[in-house]
Chain A
Amino acid sequence: MIGNIKILMHQGKQYIPDVTTAEVPGIFRGRPEISEEPVDSLALADLCPTDAISINPLQIDLGKCVFCGECAFAFPGKIKFTSDYKIATNQRERLIVKEGEQNTIILNPDLVREEIAKYFSGSLKLRQVSAGGDNSCELELNACGNVNFDMGRFGIEFVASPRHADGIVITGPITESMAEPLQICYDAIPHPKIIILAGTDAISGGIFAGSPAINRNFLNNYKIDLYVPGNPIHPLTFINGVLELIRKRKG
């Protein structure tokens, strides 16, 4: 008992006091910025392993980007990845970063359904479904609840049963074998419910796009409430995205 208390004392303060303003250590690859510098844009687009870069105008789709950073190494004057981790949004088009744009990525308030803030702003229970996820996003979603990020302080938690959940968080490109279990799980969640796609694989299939072993039909049938890009997602990206989604808006 005394040993335990000693250990507890030695830990000090481990939680991040304010997750909305915390800075990430090191050289995190977050929201990219594309300068107006003229470059061989065909060569630049060709470099991208997941066709996330398109030309005329030059833009990067964060829903497809695997954040490998190779474009920024090859064209350092053209593309720069900033450490801005707030890159989650509720509108697919907003994940596309265009040449010359430096504005931050935010949610479109008009697309947030009324009942989301009404029911979930103080408490949001989520059921996670990994559908071909490589366990990196899953590790980071678990990290959201650890003592450092402590998502639980906002009433946001992962729960075991879809019956207890207010929404579903999907990771992975959605394999053929998980298509049916995913649908069953979603159907078991009571209304109103939300869908969050966590990670590039979930948003677009990522490096697995076009594989004959995946089946993404589920996504055609429902409106997605939040896209959280990343490979894997950073816990701060996820937590800030969800907080923005469920917060009460004035007026």
Chain B
Amino acid sequence: MSDYIAIKNNETILLKSIPVLNYEDFLLFNTSLLSNEANHCVHYFGYLLTDKLKLICCIANDNENSIMISSSEINLEKNSFPSFAAHHRAFHIFERELHENFGIRYTDHPWLKPVRFAFDRADKNSTISEYPFYQINSEELHEVGVGPIHAGVIEPGHFRFICNGEQILHLEIQLGYQHRGIENLFLKKKKLLQRNILAESIAGDTVAGHTTAFVNLWESLCGYTAADDLQYARMLALELERIAIHTGDLSAICTDIAYQLGSSVFGRLRTPVINFFQVWCGNRMAKGLIRAGNNHFHFSSELADQLRKLFDDFEPDYNEMWNEIKELPSALARLEKTGVITHEQAGSIGTVGMAAKASGIKRDIRASHPHDLYRDLIHQPIMKHHGDVYSRIQIRNEEINQSIDYIREMLKSPPDVNTKRHLMSLPQPDSFSLSLTEGWRGEICHCALTDENGELLLYKIKDPSMHNWLALALAVRNNEISDFPICNKSFDLSYCGHDL
């Protein structure tokens, strides 16, 4: 028997077809896979059986478009376990979650820091308000605490800096303030529409990303094939969302370097893009647009004309502003060589998406595990190699242009009105399914398990921020604390996507 079962993105398999290994083999198999840079862990989670904890690990191979699924069953009561993270740091976040949720004890995990203080955590005595931050005792150092409520209109999280004068020695980030128990609600809310709306609320800045992952997963579980017009709408929404948020981020970065013109111009350039979502589906964040097995908002040729016109207006203004900022010494002085995360660091902690690509690691689901119409597209991920704030900004700029090119190509052939939608059946029983999507931040992974009646047994969500928050903490080391805002904005990570 093989150690694993290989599946494709959005493939549903029977739960019992996943090989169950003993823990030592399970550890050895999965950790040794990560010595190859083409492999990375897209999810690793557990759930309780009557007397055991079942662990399922999903390692994606980016060269072969496959995901290797393996499992193990362990007895929590008796033992402590050697950790995956001791072999490869990229597993740290998953094992911290396992420890927090189920109390699993590890012998050699580098730091079992709480993830989000979930309401159903194993140790209820551990609370976010009494969390002991890492400390260094020295008369020369001082601490700076920021949050949970931040200065701007943003989500809550706590940042604790240890500084030597102006220089950051260490940053610890503690999240969990946004925990809404969303994975649990996926099981509690039984209607498909409720789950669809929950998916839209995982991170309201990544509605297209998370909802596409959800509907693709759900349709796979139900054995439903989405018609071309549905796939078209999803890809279009994903690329529009990328353009909108990237442009908004460029505005916010300009705000943080006190460049008022860039802030205003990029800010107002985002407006027509999100307004287009409203024209198309009635909501500026694309809520309501993506539905499992359905779409209420046909993308007509009139809408295609409008969008083409929008880009015709957008591009000259956008390019003019970008060309100005890319040669502005006062801006570049703040952005270049600031907040560096090296290729080695990014790889070791399992960074994904924009942050990985800025450090020379090719992680882009559109190229490696394509779904929907991305299968017909030969996507070349935008790569940068310096890993600094400016690299992450350059990626945004080039991705905006790339997405506009993709959409212009799509607009040449808008889909026909689909009058015959076939009905969706119920999810298959005793199954496992996994869906990967490249949101604007990076790789989104949703996993679902069903029981013998086809009811949801488990729903697991992974936002790219789960991997990338640690990248931010490492990137700010040895930078001036005054550069923290631009470092933070250059990653623009999700709090609620992490806290769930």
Contacts and interface: CB of A to CB of B under 8 A. Distances in A.
Interface stretch (B73-81, B284-292, B404-412): B284-292
B204 interface: yes
A26 interface: yes
Nearest to A137: B204
A128 B153 contact: yes
Contacts of A172: 178, 180
B148 A135 contact: no
Contacts of A139: 204-205, 248, 285
A19 interface: no
Contact of B180 (A68, A135, A138, A214): A214
B194 interface: yes
Contact of A213 (B180, B198, B278, B317): B180
Q: How large is the interface on A (under 10, 10 to 19, 20 to 34, 35 or more residues)?
A: 35 or more
B280 A26 contact: yes
Contacts of B149: 129-130, 181, 185
Nearest to A142: B153
A4 interface: yes
A178 B117 CA distance: 12
B324 A4 contact: yes
Given A11-B317, A49-B194, A24 B278 contact: yes
A177 B121 CA distance: 13
Given A132-B496, A177-B176, A11 B181 contact: no
Interface in B242-268: 248, 261, 264-265, 267-268
Contacts of A135: 154-155, 203-205, 494-496
A84 interface: no
Contacts of B151: 160-161
Given A129-B149, A177-B128, A211 B180 contact: yes
A231 interface: yes
Nearest to B494: A135
A213 B179 contact: yes
A141 interface: yes
Interface in B223-277: 248, 261, 264-265, 267-268, 271, 275
A134 B283 contact: no
Nearest to A134: B204
Closest 5 CB pairs of A and B: A136-B204, A26-B279, A213-B181, A134-B204, A160-B151
29 contacts: A4-B261, A8-B261, A25-B279, A28-B282, A47-B193, A49-B197, A67-B287, A132-B177, A133-B204, A133-B496, A134-B203, A134-B204, A136-B287, A138-B153, A138-B154, A139-B204, A139-B248, A143-B271, A147-B267, A172-B178, A176-B179, A177-B117, A177-B179, A180-B129, A207-B194, A207-B197, A214-B181, A231-B283, A232-B284
